């Protein structure tokens, strides 16, 4: 049973980095392979063998699960990595192996916050008032959904350059999110931001801009998470370790 357990960890989030260590405390002999999309140039240290890049859709992943003798998949991708999560679910069903998800809790508004919750990037783009000065904090692949809004003076921040040319009245900042609310507050003030557009990623690492908007009483256009099927889902790495042990013990 657990001696031969092989686990595929779909990584990419900060939380995923500690999954191998915690799972090893529950299942010392588990062979874990961590998979990354390869979207960012530098991979974090994760302490187990890694593979990089897509599997080739549901069929490719199903085949990978078979050929690698995987007995459990842990999906610890970003809450907005919808395609990967859907593919993992379908491929696990095809291969007849269990899937568990690690999903950090979503952010929730305070009573004094002005959040407008929208269901998609398109809806977020449509929600921007003409003449506004939004901070659009989405990824390089997602910014394309906003480019037709040449009637707003957006500030766009992302880690790697976008594949698109931005409208001439927009400002591009190539940087990671600021670490603190005061730091993000300075950016919002300097750029005279009127609205913050954000995915509801959850977690502490990108919350500073939301805290800064709260402090400055700025409206936030918050993009809700995609809805996934109801695979067993846990909010903490410790719960994932315990769930992995419970599943693999049953085999
Ligand atoms: P996605 O749209 O769900 O995935 C697109 C494709 O990338 C997948 O179908 C898969 O290709 C490949 N892929 C994604 N994650 C993978 C992984 N861990 N290992 C191997 N292949 C992987 O997700 P995304 O393009 O990565 O990102 C979508 C949204 O999530 C964006 O908002 C992005 O900023 C955010 N995000 C994602 C991650 C992440 O862990 N993926 C991390 C940070 C932020 P195949 O179909 O060929 O298998």
DSSP-assigned states of every residue in 6-40: EEEEE--STGGGGHHHHHHHH-TT-EEEEEE---S
Per-residue pLDDT of the chain (251 residues; tens, 9 = 90+): 444 579 999 999 999 999 999 999 999 989 999 999 987 777 888 999 999 999 999 999 999 999 999 999 999 999 999 999 999 999 999 999 999 999 999 999 999 999 999 999 999 999 999 999 999 999 988 999 999 999 999 999 998 899 889 999 999 999 989 999 999 999 999 999 999 999 999 999 899 999 999 999 999 999 999 999 999 999 999 999 999 999 998 66
Q: How far apart are CA 17 and CA 187, in angstroms?
A: 29
Q: How far is the CA of 77 from the centre of ligand 1 (A)?
A: 7
Pocket of ligand 1 (CB under 6 A): 10-13, 35-37, 39, 54-57, 60-61, 77-78, 80-84, 87, 139, 142
Task: Determine the residue of 17, 81, 140, 160 to mutate for testing ligand 1's pocket, defined as the one with the most ligand atoms within 8 A of the Cβ atom.
Answer: 81
Cα-to-centroid distance, 180 and ligand 1 (Å)? 27
| Rounded distance from Cα 130 to ligand 1 centre (Å) | 32
Atom of ligand 1 nearest to the CA of 76: 40
DSSP-derived pairing of the beta strands 115-118 and 99-102: unpaired
- In 127-205, alpha helices (H): 181-190
Contact 213, 237 (CB under 8 A): no
Other Cβ atoms less than 10 A from the Cβ of 19: the count is: 26
């Amino acid at each position: 049973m657990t001696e031969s357990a092989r686990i595929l960890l779909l990584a990419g989030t900060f939380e995923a980095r500690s999954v191998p260590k915690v799972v090893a405390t529950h299942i010392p002999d588990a062979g874990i392979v961590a998979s990354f999309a390869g979207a960012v140039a530098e991979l974090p240290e994760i302490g187990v063998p890694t593979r990089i890049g897509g599997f080739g859709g549901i069929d490719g992943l199903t085949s990978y699960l078979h050929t690698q003798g995987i007995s459990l998949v842990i999906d610890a991708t970003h809450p907005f990595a919808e395609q990967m999560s859907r593919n993992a679910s379908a491929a696990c069903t095809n291969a007849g192996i269990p899937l568990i998800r690690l999903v950090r809790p979503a952010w929730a508004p305070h009573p004094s916050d002005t959040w407008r919750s929208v269901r998609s990037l398109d809806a977020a783009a449509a929600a921007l008032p003409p003449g506004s000065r939004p901070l659009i904090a989405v990824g390089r692949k997602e910014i394309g959904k906003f480019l037709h809004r040449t009637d707003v003076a957006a500030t766009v921040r992302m880690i790697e350059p976008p594949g698109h040319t931005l409208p001439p009245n927009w400002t591009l900042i190539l940087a990671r999110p600021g670490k603190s609310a005061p730091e993000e507050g300075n950016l919002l003030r300097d750029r005279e931001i009127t609205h913050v557009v954000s995915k509801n990623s959850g977690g502490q690492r990108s919350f500073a801009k939301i805290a800064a908007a709260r402090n400055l009483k700025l409206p936030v256009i918050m993009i809700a998470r995609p809805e996934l099927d109801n695979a067993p889902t846990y909010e903490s790495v410790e719960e994932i370790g315990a769930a992995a042990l419970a599943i693999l013990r049953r085999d």
